[in-house]
Structure formats: structure tokens, C-alpha cells
A = this chain, B = another copy of it.
């Protein structure tokens, strides 16, 4: 048994059975081991950004990592933007980066790069595994680290460690149970919730699942605290019957307005709010001056335990009220964000997964989803665009019985459109709605936000209509049936048809 075989078999034994892959020469023995130790589902990406974005979507839905398979430092760099997003979403991902053999690396063949330095910039755990006897054990350490943090772990595997005999199986290392909050932290939260000040209960990470949200809703209902989450949302269980939660807006002015008057923020799995960028003459944070922050649980801690203890301390027993289901009536006309939200609310199948990379157009959609059928909502976390199409592929791989509805800004979609091919190849149940404004609309807004003046060069750099990408051609080029909609009523018809058709479809919505 060589190092690669021990690795594949140990991953399988540990329950890791999905590999998003874009292999090269250094990974040939890992690929050969897949045939000798069957059981790993391999999903091929035409580009590493597809591989890593899919691993993010998979990890968010499964709470366990998929393995990525990438080729040397440059292959890793192609996947790093979406690993950045996974890192910011605290998604468990286990990278397997094949690299130059230790026996040749000092001679610096052309594809050689500093793979370790690259991986370290975004990994919670990085190791170059030199010894075939240790490869599987190293992978198990990485797996544990990816689960405990949770986050991105990177195993760099020189090809000679993969092909050399002497591989040894290694058992999975059980991750430590998440720690609860300290009693002091709970007491302080309870005091804050009852001191009469304007308080936000700020949730993120796994505190956005149904059960902790339920508890948080009771606390908010009892104490008058506002339930909020950050602008970026790793995975939110939303929809009918679940507790709605407000989101801090992305826009700097809107975010300041949203938090105006807030005196205290209690953080459950959520970082301290910070604006996405600095803007001249504006504060770095949406929080009012003097606002007090109190971190009860870090992302890796036990949010249920925290919310349970706080609910008991404040005597929160009554469920939060649920919002009324709006009656939009028949939807017609040219699309607006409001109409799009209503269309999704009306058409979303039970237990669907919404993948949201709608960027500027979709920023205010979340409340529409509160009254859609129950679903999981996945959003771009690290802000590095080009996640949506791959993440939809990963979520659909993880949950083959659920429909994925992807709201996809066109500029962002163009970063990793190759992911459509993976959706077609695997027959994944994804309905992609490309929001086609043929521009970097976000940058037109940002230009104003930073106080700069829009001139001809700027206009030229922010528009994508010369030529306008033809999404029907692009999707068909990757084997995906595609339609175009210019009105909401057409969109609804096309969504319903797509959702009812097994496999992927794409709708270009002209907005």
C-alpha cells in the first residue's frame, strides 16, 4: 500500500466520501488509488475555483468536509478566492494539494511555487506530508482541524510521498466537542438583555440554524432585543415556520442607519460588525459610537448551549411571532428586486436551497424569503465573487433530493461559469437565475460611496455590454438548457418549469 492508497482508504473509513477534483500529474497516484479503494465520489471541475466553491457549498450543507484535489501551487492559487470565502464562512474543507516530489523540488521545475506559504494564508491547518507512513495520519489531523475550527485545512502531498510504498491506514481523530460559553459570559448577556438598553442579539455561523434561531427568537420576544445577523450569511435556515432575522445591510450608509441607536450588541457566533470597505470620511463600523459589544460564543463554540442558558436566565419561554404571509396576487411586469423576491417566495419548492450571489440587485431580498417554503439560504461570505455557480454545484452534490435555486449576478457568474459544466455532467438539480444587467452595478454604487467622480474610463470599466454576454449560448455551450425572461410572469413560468425538470437549467433574467 502506498501513501496515496492509505490516504484514500483512511478518508473513506472516516466517512469522507466526496472529492471535488481538478487533478494533474502530481496527483496521478491519488487518482489511481481511487480505483483501488472505491467509494469516493469524484466530481470534476474544469477550473479549481469550481472545485473549491463546490467544496464550500458541500461543507456548509453537510457540516463535514469534502476533499478538494488540486495540482501544485498554481492550481491552489486558482482555487484560493473561493477558499477565502469558505474560510470566512467557517466551512469545513480539506484541501489535498498534490505537489512536486520532495526528490525534485530543490531543482525548482517550472510549475514549482511556494505551496505551503500560499496555503497558510487561509488555512487553519497546513502540512506538507513527506512520509508515506504518515500521510494518512496527517490527513486525519487536518480533517479534525477542519471540523473543530471549523475551517479550511490543507494537506500538501508531494508525489513521491503518494507513490512510495509503506502507507499506513490511520483512524479518524474525533474532534473535540464545541465548548459552551462561560457562566460569566451568559450572566453578562442576561444582564444586558434586561438593563433596558437598546440591544441587538447578533447571530452568525451555526447559530443561524433552525433550533438556535428558535431560542434566539424567544429571547428577543421576551426582552425586546433585535435579532440580527451580519451582512454575509454562511447558512441560514429560513422560511415559513422559522424565526425571521434582520440582516445588517452591506451599504455603508444603510448599515449605519440600521444600527442607529443601538447601545449593546450580544454576539453569538458572530464577529464584531465592520464595514466591507473603508470610505473617506465615514466610520469603519456601522455601530454607533459607544456601543458595547459582548462576545458570548466564537464561531467554533456551542451556540445552542449559550442561547439555552441565556433563555433560561431571562425566562424566555414564548415563541417569537412569525411574519404574515403576504398576498402579492399575480406578479407581472418588468422585474424589480421586490418582484424578484416575491417570485422566489411564490415558486420556491419545499426544502430547497437558495444560493445567493445576487450582489447589488438582491441585497434586500431576504425578508421575502422569510415567508417562502422552508429552505436553507447560502450567501457569499468572504466577498470574493465567483462563488455562486460552484457553490450551487456543491450544495446540490451534498443534497441530491433538494432543489437548488441560485440567484446569480452576471458579472460574478462570469468568474467561474465553468461550474455550469459540472452541474450538467453530474445532473445536479440547480435552477440558476442569472440577473443580467451587463454591468458591474456594484462598482457604480461604490464609486459614489467613495466620493469619486464617474468619468468615461470608469464607465467603460464598469459596463459589460460591449458585447453583452449571451447567457443562453454560454449555458448551452456547457450542456445546460437555457431560457431568457424579460418579465416577472415569464420568469415565474420558467422557474416552475426548471424546478420541475431534473438536472440543471439556467434562466437569464434581463434586469
Contact = CB atoms under 8 A, between A and B. Distances in A.
Interface stretch (A135-143, A312-320, A378-386): A378-386
A151 to B, nearest CB: 14
A101 interface: yes
B443 A24 contact: yes
Residue of A107, A451, A461, A472 contacting most chain B CB atoms (<10 Å) = A461
A159 interface: yes
B443 A109 contact: no
A468 to B, nearest CB: 8
Interface string A63-106: 00000000001110110110010001000000000001101100
Interface string A433-471: 000000000110011011111111110110010111111
B417 A418 contact: yes
Residue of A28, A29, A46, A381 contacting most chain B CB atoms (<10 Å) = A28
B414 A47 contact: yes
A469 B461 contact: no
A399 interface: no
Contact of A110 (B23, B276, B468, B479): B276
A240 interface: no
A121 interface: yes
A81 B81 CA distance: 12
A452 B164 CA distance: 12
Given A47-B415, A477-B469, A107 B274 contact: yes
Interface in A243-260: none
B278 A111 contact: no
Nearest to A163: B280
15 contacts: A23-B461, A25-B276, A25-B442, A26-B277, A28-B458, A35-B456, A46-B415, A74-B383, A103-B278, A107-B284, A118-B118, A421-B469, A467-B478, A469-B479, A474-B478
Interface of A: 21, 23-26, 28-29, 31-32, 34-36, 38, 40, 42, 44, 46-47, 49, 73-75, 77-78, 80-81, 84, 88, 100-101, 103-104, 107-111, 113-114, 117-118, 121-122, 159-160, 163, 232, 272, 274-278, 280, 284-285, 381-384, 386, 411, 414-415, 417-418, 421, 424-425, 442-443, 446-447, 449-458, 460-461, 464, 466-474, 476-479
